[in-house]
Amino acid sequence: MAAEVSKPDFSYQWASGGAIVAPSDVKIQTGWTAEVPPFQWENYLQNRQDDAILHLFQKGVSEWDAVSNYYFTTSGVRSYVQGSDGNIYVAVQDSVGQDPVTDTVHAYWKLAFSPAERVGTDGGFGRRNILVNARGTINERGYVSGTATVGANQYTVDRWYVVTSGQSLGWTDAGSVRTFTAPAGGVTQAIRAQNIAGGTYVLSFTGTAVAKVNGVTVLNGGTFTLPANTIARLSFSSGTFSNPQIEQGTTATNFDYQNDESETLICQKYYFKPVVVWTLAGHGAAGDARIVDAMLSYPRMVQIPVASTSTGSGVNIVIGALSVSSTALTQIATTGAAGYAGYLFTVTSLDAEFV
């Protein structure tokens, strides 16, 4: 095994203060022959190597350029570059001259992770967007695009509610992008207070809708201030929008794609739709406490949810109180008379949303 190599001192670069003359492109391709080359050529080559090494020392990941070949191979080799926006990108297709910063449809590049200075302030690597289900693809309620709501502030796809009763949220899908059409009365996401660190934030989205943060219009790429640990509300109205993002800072970055599996887990802290049907059965003397009961455990929700339940017919049973916490639901029943008791009990949803 080779010994560990210490980082060399690059305080000075070869020929940084000397005479440098670049050989012709043909000479660079040909290389040395039986000759005595000009010392300026040798200085050029040594200086270029020092510059390349120092660039990697300073940047960690080299900056993207328009002439290098970047690769994506089936064997797992991936090119990584640093974009002009400071983000790190990974290749998803071979390319030359395809700028990752302007590749908004991710044909050649996707975001690998964001700058280290963001860690601890906006969710760190991989989660800059404080919106949940920003793409709107998680739909636990099974809301159908364009369906008129029957009440004010009715939730549709997870974490998004239509403000005005009788209006609807519609959408079309194209690849990984879902484009929404917001109604005149608006569609809103209420952002949990605990997820807001406070300070300057920037909004980005694609579309024609009017965007407002806490009732104040914010343009695409516009900045605003949010107080720490205070609920904030983002709304869109009268137009289209897709890939909305709110992140800390003054400059909007590429949309922070999250996989549906992780987004679903977060959404279920606000709305949980279990498929649970209990047939409770027991045997005891009349009035025996807890002769039949059932408990459902679930991930801790953001607040104590409202439980929606349905029941079938009961046999010789008295239903007690339904107990609901942020992590578990319990149904207790007692026998009405000595002997067998049975009961059908269904949990249809647990709703911890807020507006």
Mapped onto helix, strand or coil, the DSSP state of residue 145 is coil
My answer on whether 298 and 202 are in the same domain is: no
Is 170 inside a domain boundary? Answer: yes
Are 188 and 213 contacting, i.e. CB atoms less than 8 angstroms apart? no
Q: What share of the chain is helix, strand, coil (3-state, %, to 5)?
A: 10, 35, 55
Is 178 inside a domain boundary? Answer: yes
Are 163 and 152 contacting, i.e. CB atoms less than 8 angstroms apart? yes
Is 123 inside a domain boundary? Answer: no
> The domain containing residue 44 runs over which residues?
25-59
Q: What pLDDT score was predicted for residue 224?
A: 97
Q: How far is CA 152 from the centre of its chain?
A: 27
Pick from 33, 59, 85: which residue ends a domain?
59
Sheet holding 232-237, edge to edge: 154-155, 161-162, 187-191, 232-237, 210-213, 216-217
Mean pLDDT of 268-291: 72
Pick from 35, 59, 83: which residue ends a domain?
59
pLDDT in tens, 182-221: 999 999 999 999 999 999 999 999 999 999 999 999 999 9
Higher pLDDT pick, 74 / 167:
167
User: How far apart are the C-alpha atoms of 269 and 257, rounded to whole Å?
Assistant: 20
Q: Lowest-pLDDT range, 130-144, 183-197, 262-276, 336-350? A: 336-350
User: How far apart are the C-alpha atoms of 129 and 207, rounded to whole Å?
Assistant: 18
Averaged pLDDT of the chain:
86
Higher pLDDT pick, 122 / 17:
17
My answer on whether 236 and 333 are in the same domain is: no
Are 43 and 70 contacting, i.e. CB atoms less than 8 angstroms apart? no
My answer on whether 195 and 256 are in the same domain is: yes
Q: 73-100 as b/e, with b when 16 or more CB fall inside 10 Å?
A: eeeeeebbbbbeeebbbbbeeebeebbb
Angle at 165 between CA 159 and CA 167, to 5 degrees: 80
CATH number at 278 reads 2.60.40
Mapped onto helix, strand or coil, the DSSP state of residue 194 is helix
* Six token digits for residue 314: 């009961």
Q: What pLDDT score was predicted for residue 1?
A: 61
Q: What pLDDT score was predicted for residue 6?
A: 76
User: How far apart are the C-alpha atoms of 172 and 180, rounded to whole Å?
Assistant: 7
Q: What pLDDT score was predicted for residue 124?
A: 39
Q: What pLDDT score was predicted for residue 300?
A: 87
Is 65 inside a domain boundary? Answer: no
My answer on whether 240 and 293 are in the same domain is: no
Is 7 inside a domain boundary? Answer: no
Contacts of 241 (CB under 8 A, 6+ apart): 179, 180, 182, 205, 206, 207, 208, 209, 211
Percent of the chain beyond pLDDT 70?
Answer: 87
Is 81 inside a domain boundary? Answer: no
In angstroms, what CA-CA distances link 283 with 205, 291, 319, 322?
Answer: 60, 7, 15, 21
Domain count, the chain: 3
Are 281 and 300 contacting, i.e. CB atoms less than 8 angstroms apart? no
My answer on whether 250 and 170 are in the same domain is: yes
Is 124 inside a domain boundary? Answer: no
Is 229 inside a domain boundary? Answer: yes
Q: What pLDDT score was predicted for residue 116?
A: 42
User: How far apart are the C-alpha atoms of 153 and 176, rounded to whole Å?
Assistant: 27
My answer on whether 182 and 252 are in the same domain is: yes
Pick from 267, 292, 327: which residue ends a domain?
267
Q: What pLDDT score was predicted for residue 125?
A: 40
Check whether 123 has a pLDDT greater than 50. Answer: no
Higher pLDDT pick, 128 / 97:
97
